Homo-oligomer: A and B are copies of this chain.
Amino acid sequence: MTETTAHERFYSVIPAGGIGSRLWPLSRADAPKFLHDLTGSGQTLLRDTWERLAPIAGDQRIMVVTGRAHRAAVEAQLPALTDENIVLESEPRDSSAAIGLAAAILERREPGVIIGSFAADHVIGQREGFRAAVRQAIAAADAGYITTIGIRPTEPAVGFGYIHTGGSLDVPGAEGALAVTEFVEKPDLDTAKAYVEGGDHLWNAGMFIARADRLLEELHRSQPELHDGLVELAAAWDDPVTRGPAVDRIWPTLTKIAIDYSVAEPAADAGRLAVIPGTFDWDDVGDFASLAKLNTAGRASDLAILGEHARVLADASSGIVVSRSKRVISLIGVQDIVVVDTPDALLVTTSEHAQRVKSVVDALRMGGSGDVL
């Protein structure tokens, strides 16, 4: 098959599931991270993601997998999203179920389809560089690889996973494609520094491009029950009579596992994973330290202010203020501060402690303050 043909068989999938607990109290169960504008662009991360993907294969070839509770909000953001292209989860069951179901549904509809899964809540700078990487990834996927796009690290980040790259793969149309020898969890700082200096590690940006049948095959190998459940669910999906009962019966039984573990790592171990190094700016905006950095262009002495109605008076302060109220916020002499002001919850911390926000969310849940989560 030619690259053009592969490209024509491409379908984007946007799993829009995670709440983004480390961005509480901005991100909430009822207002997850992908429904926020985190860059001051004036639109949500979900809408940004859509607009980044639409030029690749058209807006009729983007599927969104999201929670039932978010349907209205998602559809409001994406007016071109059709009923066929929205997959609603009755409850979250992690990324293997979300992406695997999309793969199974699309493979039934269009055998030989190539899917590309891209998180709804990441920030990407250069769309052209992103599309160039996706084009190569489609070629590698068409050649049979489970393909990911890894980001050339610009600093020894400890908040991301890394991809250890191997030798060049000889794939027509995917000149940059490298073998992947290993997926690595978030490293410590020294390890991250060694990765950056060594030059053969990329950031894992959670992007997976593969023929749907190949992805399901990997899933079948590592998680046969999950695979079978998804295939069965997909078979019932496009008939309104059978979908509901199948969802009720099968969805709650599906194994919760990240696609990194069920597909990417086993494929890497078996030499069936390729990576396209991407040189575009990328950030998963995983916590407020990352959000601050993103909105100050990395200038540590700056104070970033996010919020349409923000009324902030700052004196000798740096960090980030996120305002979701019309209250006057005054900062005096606080450095690297994180202030997130919402109608029912306030967070004050520092960039250094941004990763610990998740544990506070857990404590609030345990402590009976679930009303603000």
Contacts from A to B (Cβ < 8 Å): 25, 311, 313, 315-316, 326-334, 337, 339, 341, 343-350, 352-353, 356-357, 359-360, 363-364, 367, 369, 372
Contacts and interface: CB of A to CB of B under 8 A. Distances in A.
Contacts of A359: 315
Nearest to A326: B344
A215 B103 CA distance: 90
A31 to B, nearest CB: 15
A334 B349 contact: yes
A324 B25 CA distance: 19
Q: How many copies, total? A: 2
B328 A369 contact: yes
B339 A348 contact: yes
B327 A344 contact: yes
A344 B331 contact: no
A345 B328 contact: yes
9 contacts: A25-B328, A25-B330, A313-B364, A327-B344, A329-B348, A330-B347, A330-B349, A330-B364, A331-B349
Contacts of A329: 345-346, 348
A345 B348 CA distance: 15
Contacts of A353: 316, 332-334
Given A332-B348, A332-B357, A334-B350, 15 more contacts: A313-B369, A327-B372, A328-B369, A328-B372, A329-B346, A330-B360, A330-B364, A332-B349, A332-B353, A333-B349, A333-B352, A334-B348, A334-B353, A346-B346, A348-B348
Contacts of A330: 25, 345-349, 360, 364
A347 B317 CA distance: 12
A341 B325 CA distance: 13
A360 B345 CA distance: 24
Looking at A339, A341, A359, A360, the one whose CB has the most chain B CB atoms below 10 A away is A360
A349 B339 CA distance: 11
Contacts of A339: 346, 348
A350 to B, nearest CB: 6
A348 B333 CA distance: 9
A356 B328 contact: no
A341 B311 CA distance: 15
Contacts of A313: 360, 363-364, 367, 369
